[in-house]
């Protein structure tokens, strides 16, 4: 007798929330985990997710955002490839009354009302944590000068700018620590390897430390160091950021010295905040991810707990 009841209820059920999400690309293990987290969380929350991959290009993100506006999605979310150049398209979203949520990376806009909130890590602090580990290492090797080469992330991206700034802030004035070369490795393994090869050609045995803005570039560089006949993690001390499984594996093999955690698991928070915004609930302007630092000594013990 009750046949059709549930169909009736479904007909009256609220329409699913529609979120348009523009992702940076698929440049790293971190990014892959971030994409999985967002897609899984959308499914769990019953959100209709329109996902667009920008392949590391800002122009693709601008196009995706304009298409989300044209489709009148409920919320636009994105992780901006670079920090600047967003004012125009974000004003268009505001004019269309579509709230914008940033995940992972921040933008540089004068009018902060263009974004509802920003969910992600404190990249300056990550740079400081990497440097603090190195300052401790230097203390254990008194009198030894440590020449550092730096592999930067994507030029103009928030994590590349901030991780450099935080690192430099902490090593500044330390006579043992000096950056002798710095270049972008675009957050990829392939480019990290290529640039490390060039560093090794130029400075070879004078390099004591590699600071990589992400694990993938460190892993690429490890290959370059081995191919040059040197021992990564020993002849060259390696400090990197993210804390992906690949980094833990490298630490367990003694090839990486420490990774500073940066969590990509932002999906559940994004879905919650998007629902709150649409329901008219107040949300904080900045939601900071909590994370730790993992030196090689704890890698084997921590590995089974890693979720990305």
Taking contact as CB under 6 A, which single stretch among the options 22-30, 43-51, 265-273, 286-294 is the one that binds ligand GYE?
Answer: 22-30
Pattern 32-71, binding to ligand GYE, x per CB under 6 A?
----------------------------------------
Q: Is the dihedral of CA 91, 114, 158, 247 positive or negative?
A: negative
Please list every residue from 206 through 235 that binds ligand GYE, using CB under 6 A. Answer: 214, 216
Would you mind telling me the total number of residues written for the chain in this entry? 308
23-31, 66-74, 172-180, 292-300 -> range binding ligand GYE (CB under 6 A):
23-31
> Residue 105 interacts with ligand GYE (CB under 6 A)?
yes
- Chain residues 152-171 in contact with ligand GYE, contact rule CB under 6 A: 159
Closest distance to ligand GYE from the beta carbon of 80 (Å): 9
The DSSP bridge pattern shows strands 258-261 and 293-295 to be antiparallel
User: Which range of residues in 25-33, 82-90, 172-180, 194-202 is near ligand GYE by CB under 6 A?
Assistant: 25-33
- Which range touches ligand GYE (CB under 6 A), out of 27-35, 38-46, 177-185, 276-284? 27-35
Nearer to ligand GYE, 208 or 214 (CB): 214
Look at residues 145, 137, 150 and name the one whose alpha carbon lies nearest to residue 241. Answer: 150
Beta bridge partners of 211: 150, 239
Q: What b/e string do you get for 263-298 counting C-beta neighbours within 10 Å, with b at 16 or more?
A: bbbbbebbbbbbbebeeeeebeeebebebebbbbee
Using CB under 6 A as the binding rule, the residues of this chain from 231 to 290 that contact ligand GYE are 241-242, 262
> Under rule CB under 6 A, how many of the chain's residues touch ligand GYE?
13
CA distance 55 to 60: 8
**Distances from the Cα of 308 to the Cαs of 45, 130, 250, 264, 266, in angstroms?**
21, 20, 15, 8, 12
Q: Of 23 and 208, which CB lies nearer to ligand GYE in the complex structure?
A: 23
3-state secondary structure of 167: helix
Cβ 70 to ligand GYE shortest distance, Å:
27
Helix axes 29-45 and 267-278, enclosed angle (nearest 10): 40
Instruction: Encode 215-244: b = buried (16+ Cβ within 10 Å), e = exposed.
Output: bbbbbbbbbbbeebeeebbeebbbbbbbbb
Closest to ligand GYE by CB, 187 vs 248, is: 187
Least separation in angstroms between CB 103 and ligand GYE: 9
Stretch that binds ligand GYE, among 28-36, 177-185, 246-254, 267-275 (CB under 6 A): 28-36
> What does the binding site for ligand GYE look like in residue numbers (CB under 6 A)?
27-28, 30-31, 104-105, 159, 187, 214, 216, 241-242, 262
């Amino acid at each position: 007798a009750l046949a059709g009841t549930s169909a009736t209820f479904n007909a009256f059920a609220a329409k699913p929330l529609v979120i348009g999400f523009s992702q940076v690309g698929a440049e790293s293990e971190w990014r892959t985990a971030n994409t999985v987290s967002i897609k899984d969380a959308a499914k769990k929350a019953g959100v209709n997710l329109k996902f667009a991959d920008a392949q590391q290009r800002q122009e693709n993100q601008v196009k995706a955002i304009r298409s989300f506006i044209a489709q009148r999605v409920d919320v636009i979310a994105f992780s901006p490839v670079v920090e600047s150049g967003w004012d125009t398209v974000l004003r268009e979203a505001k004019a269309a009354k579509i709230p914008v949520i940033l995940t992972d990376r921040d933008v540089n806009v004068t009018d902060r009302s263009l974004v509802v909130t920003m969910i992600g890590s404190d990249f300056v602090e990550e740079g400081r944590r990497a440097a603090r580990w190195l300052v401790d290492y230097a203390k254990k090797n008194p009198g030894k000068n440590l020449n550092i080469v730096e592999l930067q992330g994507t030029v103009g991206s928030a994590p590349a700018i901030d991780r450099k700034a935080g690192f430099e802030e902490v090593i500044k004035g330390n006579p043992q620590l000096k950056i002798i070369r710095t270049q972008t490795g675009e957050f990829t393994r392939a480019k990290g390897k290529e640039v490390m090869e060039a560093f090794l050609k130029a400075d070879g045995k004078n390099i004591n430390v590699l600071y990589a803005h992400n694990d993938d570039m460190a892993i690429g560089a490890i290959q370059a160091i081995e191919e040059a006949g040197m021992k990564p993690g020993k002849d060259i001390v390696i400090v990197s950021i993210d804390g992906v499984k690949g980094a833990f594996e490298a630490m367990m093999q003694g090839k990486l010295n420490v990774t500073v955690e940066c969590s990509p698991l932002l999906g559940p928070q994004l879905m919650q905040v998007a629902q709150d915004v649409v329901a008219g609930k107040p949300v904080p302007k900045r939601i900071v991810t909590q994370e730790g630092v993992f030196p090689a000594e704890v890698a084997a013990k921590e590995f089974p707990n890693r979720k990305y």
